[in-house]
Amino acid sequence: MNMQSKVEQNPSLAANPDWWKGGVIYQIYPRSFQDSNGDGIGDLPGITQRLPYIASLGVDAIWISPFFKSPMKDFGYDVSDYRDVDPMFGTLDDFKELLRAAHSLGLRVMIDLVLSHTSDVHPWFAASRASRDNDKSDWYVWADAQPDGTPPNNWLSIFGGSAWQWDTRREQYYLHNFLSEQPDLNFHSPDVQDALLDVARFWLELGVDGFRLDTINFYFHDAKLRSNPALSAEARNASIAPSVNPYNYQDHLYSKNQPENLAFLERLRALCDDYEGRACLGEVGDAQRGLEIMGEYTSGDNRMHMCYGFEFLEDKPLTATFVKEVFDRLEAVSPEAWACWAFSNHDVERFSSRWNLSATALRTHITLMMCLRGSACLYQGEELGLEEADVAFEDLQDPYGIEFWPEFKGRDGCRTPMVWETQAESAGFGASETWLPVSSEHAAMAVDRQEADPEALLHHYRRAIALRKAHPALSVGETTWMEAKGSVLSMIRKHEGSEILCVTNLSGVAASATLPAGNWVSIADDLGGQAPQRDLEPWGFIVATKKDA
């Protein structure tokens, strides 16, 4: 029985099917956005309540982290029912109302699809582990022990320890790249692929505008189960895992990034293309070859629309040289690749803390992001300049942080509740007892206080987003020139005869820039941009359009 009743798009949204290209997407972590019923946990009606605020930012879409039924071992990234909403977040009708409200405000809605693994209480896994010869026995990655009883190979879990868990029912090991309660699906099975495409179809029929695809490069494993080689000590510095995690000691050649994935991504894209204006955003989790995978996964028009990696989510500060290196590498591996850049998300330390940025530096960073070729993801609260919250060990919820404490404190510090009203209980989030504590430092930076201050960072975000949307050269144009000279990153974006010069001093020290020839006129005065000139203030920037002489 089909219980969906499709939610129609706003006609104005349907008029731009390529909205994703150069679009700005606002990520919502639903547990921490707005609590509507006083249980201390954010929910879907809470998101609906705050949609006018999100629309006021000028973004194109929202991405909502998982809200499916789940035992919440990994806070929704362990799905037990792909086709329903966990009661913690509301009901399927609540989601339909969220969709309707978002579309009426001109916002598209992307949902977070976790296809690489399920919860261990998902009915599929219950059937698979029951025996070695039932119709779902090969839906997960099962393997016999080695002769000495040890796991089939040396693969490691990102969350610590072996990626293999012994199961007494089948007397075999099953693969889990994350928690042992998150068994990996076997994408080598055509039935698994078909079942997951049916899941995507369910939500497309309901009216969602696209998917953020979790750990997209983890879908397939090496069918021969070959062990990963060691990673050199020099290469360990770049990793998607904290330095204390032994996951960094391996080059993950065989546990992810398999070539068979391309055919499945093409099937998924073909499905999405049956529904006009839908978009797929893949998360590429790989520090060694993330840009190469991004290029591969977005090449042509039959794979993913866009992918984002971890290049600008690392601890490494954003320097002019580093940004140019990233774009040079991306150009080398795939000139047509379409990236989606993020400085923060629900898995990493907030970038204001990670890079120890001042208020002035934050303005420069978001202005730069709005000038980069690609799409952009913003994480809830970054528009307020929120820093990483200090969460005491006894308040931790994240199993990742609990495992590697105190050297790595986990992800709870970036997941604390959103702050709406400085003087309200729990800063306007909801109940007094919240699932993670509300930061008092955050409360002082709440939305209501910044709305009342014309100089607040919140308004700078709005102006930077508006600048990007007002100039197609910034949102969809080509980058015809880029130069890194000391702390200064310079580039020219071009689209249909329009040229825009973007010059950024990524340093708290004054610097000099060499401006290309031309009659350049500033278009960023209301953002605090400088007039086109050689001398750049600390964290100074120029955004200027080329006028005919």
Burial of 37 (0-12, 13-18, 19+ CB in 10 A): middle
* Gap between the Cα atoms of 18 and 12, Å rounded: 13
* Gap between the Cα atoms of 6 and 92, Å rounded: 12
Burial of 233 (0-12, 13-18, 19+ CB in 10 A): exposed
* Gap between the Cα atoms of 496 and 125, Å rounded: 53
The SS3 call for residue 282 is strand
* Gap between the Cα atoms of 541 and 539, Å rounded: 7
* Gap between the Cα atoms of 30 and 27, Å rounded: 9
The residue from 120, 184, 222, 283 that is catalytic is 283
- 396: tokens are 């931790």
Tell me if 231 sits within 8 A of 250, measured CB to CB: yes
* Gap between the Cα atoms of 328 and 530, Å rounded: 27
* Gap between the Cα atoms of 341 and 321, Å rounded: 17
Residue 71 phi/psi, 5-degree rounding, is -75, -5
Q: Is 214 a catalytic residue?
A: yes
- 29: tokens are 């972590």
Residue 424 phi/psi, 5-degree rounding, is -80, 160
* Gap between the Cα atoms of 376 and 339, Å rounded: 8
Cis peptide before 152 (omega within 30 of 0): no
Task: Count CB neighbours of 4 within 10 A.
Answer: 14
Tell me if 53 sits within 8 A of 458, measured CB to CB: no
Residue 36 is classified by DSSP as S
The residue from 74, 112, 214, 398 that is catalytic is 214
279-283 and 164-167 beta bridge pairing: unpaired
Active-site amino acid positions: 214, 283
